[in-house]
Every structure is written in structure tokens, then in C-alpha cells.
Homo-oligomer: A and B are copies of this chain.
Amino acid sequence: MADLVPRCKLWLESDSGLVMSDYRLRLLALVAETGSLASAASAMHLSYRRAWGKIKELEANLGFPLVRSEVGGAGGGHTTLTDEGRQLVEAYDRFRRRVEAAVSQAFAEELAPLAQTGTPTA
């Protein structure tokens, strides 16, 4: 069992299904990084319309606005995260890292020791 690795997929659900996932977190993080929903969508091979739809769905499920758009100006529109959007990205990232650390530790303590007791099959 020496070369086994634990994997973990995390998400948040409401009654209506998936709300937040690593994928959606990445979309929000890319908006924060690029200042543009078009750039964030493109980096994830999503259409602008689909990326916008995901963010609006997320806002509806969460009950607060995540992005703020400014139309026009030099270079066209600009999209930034709201304070709450930034807090969500940071909090979800902390949540994800804590769970990943717990997965590694629980694996090392509970499952890795079995590698020593296992007798190879013929």
C-alpha cells in the first residue's frame, strides 16, 4: 500500500443541490486575479454567459452578491469581487486546506500502517 494516496472532493450543498465547489472557487479566484469575468471564463474554457450564470446562481444560493461590475472606461468593463465575495473565497480556501491536512493526517495514522502488515499475494 506504499504508493496509495488519499483523495478528497469537497463541495457545499443546499436543498437544491450543489452550491460551492473547488471549480466555482477557481472561477471566483480568477475574477479576483484578472479583474475580468471574460478573462476568468476564458481561462476555464467557459463561455462568458455560462460563467456569468454560475456566479449569479451562486449568489442566489448564498444570499449575497459576490461580484461587482463596472461597464466601460478605458479597456472596457471590469469585474471585481465584493467584500463578501473575497471573504467567501478566502474562507472556502481555508476550509479546503484544513480538510486536506486532516485527510493526510488521518491517512498516515489509520491506513498507512496497514502497508507494513500486508503480506504480498503470489
Indicate how many identical chains form the complex.
2
Given A87-B114, A92-B111, A12:B7 Cβ within 8 A:
yes
Contact with A1, one of B1, B62, B111, B121 (Cβ below 8 angstroms): B62
**Nearest-CB residue, chain B, relative to A12:** B4
1/0 per position for A49-64, CB-CB distance to B under 8 A?
A: 0000000000111111
Q: What is the CB-to-nearest-CB distance from A3 to chain B, in angstroms, rounded to a whole number?
A: 6
Measured CA separation A1–B3 after assembly (Å): 39
Measured CA separation A94–B62 after assembly (Å): 33
Q: What is the CB-to-nearest-CB distance from A119 to chain B, in angstroms, rounded to a whole number?
A: 5
B4 touches A11 (CB 8 A): no
**Which residues of B have CB within 8 Å of A45?**
none
Can you list 20 A-B pairs with a CB-CB distance of less than 8 A?
A: A4-B14, A4-B20, A5-B13, A6-B11, A6-B13, A7-B12, A7-B13, A8-B8, A8-B9, A10-B103, A12-B107, A60-B121, A64-B120, A88-B111, A88-B114, A92-B110, A95-B106, A98-B110, A99-B102, A99-B106
A residues contacting B by CB (< 8 A) are 1, 3-15, 19-20, 59-65, 84, 87-88, 91-92, 94-95, 98-99, 102-103, 106-107, 110-111, 113-114, 117-121
